[in-house]
Amino acid sequence: MAGNERSIDELYQDDPERADALAFGRKVDVNRRGFLGGTGLAAMGAAVGGAIPFAANMPGGLIPAALAQEKPAPSKGPQYLKFPGKHEGLVLLGDRPLVAETPESLLDDDTTPTNKFFIRNNANTPDPAKDPDSWKITIDGEVNQKLEIALGELKKKFRPVTRRLVLECGGNGRSFFTPTARGNQWTNGGVGCAEWTGVRLADVLRAAGVKTSAVFTGHYGIDGSLADPNRPALSRGVPIKKALDQNNLIVWAMNGEPLSTIHGGPVRLIVAGWPGSVSSKWLTRIWVRDKVHDGPGMGGTSYRVTIKPMIPGSKPDDANFRDLESMPVRSIITSPSNGTKLAGDVREINLRGAAWAGDLSVRRVDVSIDFGATWRQAQLRPPRNRYDWQRWTATVRVPSEGYYEIWTRATDQRGTMQPHIAGNWNPQGYGANPMHRIAVLIG
């Protein structure tokens, strides 16, 4: 490829057929999914590190998983987080505010360890609370009695519960959109499934007495915006029906330990199944409102997806957007990791992964080793409790040495399946959930 050519990612985004021709000498046959001629096949095999047994099934214009470059710094590779108590493998997406994602292979635990849990801040991290139990939370607005309660009192007055719940950033998967959408370029790592201990949000709201006029909640923490520390960095909320879901928690512990400051300690919300932005960190107030909340991060294109598809890059019409509520169905492969090399005599590959679907359950997970020509159903474990992710396993048999891509896709209880590519482009890049694929080289 000429020295002044753009990166392979840029080429494939703008003109996949030209990228194929430049990189591998591949021509596309409209009567077939795609094929590699002699020199092209050799070039691609050399690029990915081995022969491609299922090359005839490889879709034209597909960047091989082995060549897909990390974002946001493709020329340098990923930048890794250096933070006390955090795994050295987390990938840094931004440092002001601090944002870091967890590679899929580090999400191989049933319960995500705290040191492997992703970080998503909207401002600078507040100082640790000097006396966590004296931390005050206010419930006001459309309630019969304003409730102001310290964390220590909250622990005593309400029954504590522990649940394993998925927490996922609303922008998870954003990097898969073409063209690029605004924001942190998450792959699949803006998610984790920890054990959270706290009290039911519904119990606390009912103690304050929710009025019939209540429509929405507004959530507030102590983190001020980077531009103006006196203004909230983010204040989102949910419809009152969702707020009263028995699975939402006000939590003070994560995986059996006091909630760390970086994850919202000493106390935060967990609103199960919905974008992490409604699960306010460093919680100080829940404002029960008689209308849809209008705090920072509400309205416009913030945490909203299109109702009807829009032309990428065109001017958004606010009337064509709705709030992103239940997160979309997603499945990831957590073992083996992308780029794994196995001995030449290996003919079976054991796979592990996780799947989840926001408010819904996952009906099935399927895997493919031949670029989606055929699929095999994985074994799917039930969740431990509602809003837990579902772990899955599968064993696939390969015919020979060579380069393989393993693809996974999940289907939710309503029959909605992960798409092959990210669809419904929107300016801030929410809801991208294309199937996950990894490269494995045998031999």
Q: pLDDT value at position 44?
A: 82
Q: Tell me the average pLDDT across 390-398.
A: 98
Label residue 70 by pLDDT band (50, 70, 90): very low
Instruction: Kindly tell me if the per-residue pLDDT of 21 is higher than 80.
Output: no
Instruction: Kindly tell me if the per-residue pLDDT of 433 is higher than 70.
Output: yes
Instruction: State pLDDT tens for residues 217-262.
Output: 999 999 999 999 889 999 999 999 999 999 999 999 999 999 999 9
Q: pLDDT value at position 286?
A: 98
Q: pLDDT value at position 9?
A: 59
Nearest to 415 by CA among 350, 339, 364, 358: 364
Instruction: Kindly tell me if the per-residue pLDDT of 160 is higher than 70.
Output: yes
Label residue 71 by pLDDT band (50, 70, 90): very low
Label residue 5 by pLDDT band (50, 70, 90): very low
User: If you count DSSP H runs as helices and E runs as strands, how many of each does the chain have, helices first?
Assistant: 6, 23
Burial class (CB in 10 A: 0-12, 13-18, 19+), 372: buried
The residue ranking higher by pLDDT, 244 or 27, is: 244
Instruction: State pLDDT tens for residues 329-364.
Output: 999 999 999 999 999 999 999 999 999 999 999 999
Domains in the chain with CATH codes: 8-57 (no CATH), 114-323 (3.90.420.10), 330-442 (2.60.40.650)
Instruction: Kindly tell me if the per-residue pLDDT of 7 is higher than 90.
Output: no
Please list, residue by residue across 14-47, b when 16 or more beta carbons sit within 10 angstroms of its beta carbon and e when fewer do: eebeebbeebbbbeeeeeeebbbeeebbebbbee
Label residue 3 by pLDDT band (50, 70, 90): very low
Label residue 26 by pLDDT band (50, 70, 90): low
Q: pLDDT value at position 29?
A: 47
Q: Tell me the average pLDDT across 413-432.
A: 96
Q: pLDDT value at position 16?
A: 63
Nearest to 117 by CA among 279, 2, 246, 242: 279
